Amino acid sequence: MAEVWIDPARCQGHARCFMLAPETFEIDDDGYGHVIAGREGSYDEENVRKAIRNCPERAIKVIGAEPAS
């Protein structure tokens, strides 16, 4: 099953994912993005695709699926 993932080594806290797909991503106290626990495999594909294409650090990946961009 495809799962969405943020690479913590790349995320710099631009928070684009949180703006574009708040049902999937959350932001920690230092401003870094994370996938909400339990939402890795169930997400709005269109919103997540938009988050991927707008992440300046190219930090969001969908694993186990065709690359979205």
Partner 1 sequence: MSDRTVPQDFDFHGKALDTIFDDYEAMLAEKPVGHSSKYGGFWYISKSDDIFEAEQDPDTWSVGPSMILPGFGTEMPLIPIDIDPPTHAGFRKLLLPMFTPMAINKLEPGMHATAEELAAEVKQAFEADGVVDVSHRFARPYPTIIFSRLAGYPEADWPMFDQWIDDIIYERTKSPETANKAGDDLVAYVQRLIDDGRAGTAQHGIMGDLLDAKVDGRPLTNDELISYGYLLFLAGLDTTAWAIRSSLWYLAGNLEAQRLLRAEPDRVPDAAEEFLRTLSPVQAMARTAKKDTTVRGQEIQAGERVVLVFGAGNRDPEVYDKPNDIDITRENNRHLAFGGGIHRCLGSNLGRKELVISLQHFLATIPEFELAEDEPWHGVGSLRIRLTGGE
Distance from C-alpha of 22 to C-alpha of 16, rounded to nearest angstrom: 10
65 makes contact with partner 1 (CB under 8 A):
no
| 40, 5 contact by CB (below 8 A) | yes
Q: How far is the CB of 1 from partner 1 (least distance, A)?
A: 26
Q: How far is the CB of 58 from partner 1 (least distance, A)?
A: 8
56 makes contact with partner 1 (CB under 8 A):
yes
Residue of 2, 27, 44, 61 that binds partner 1 (CB under 8 A): 27
The site for partner 1 (CB under 8 A) is made up of 10, 12-15, 18-19, 27, 29-31, 50, 53-58, 69
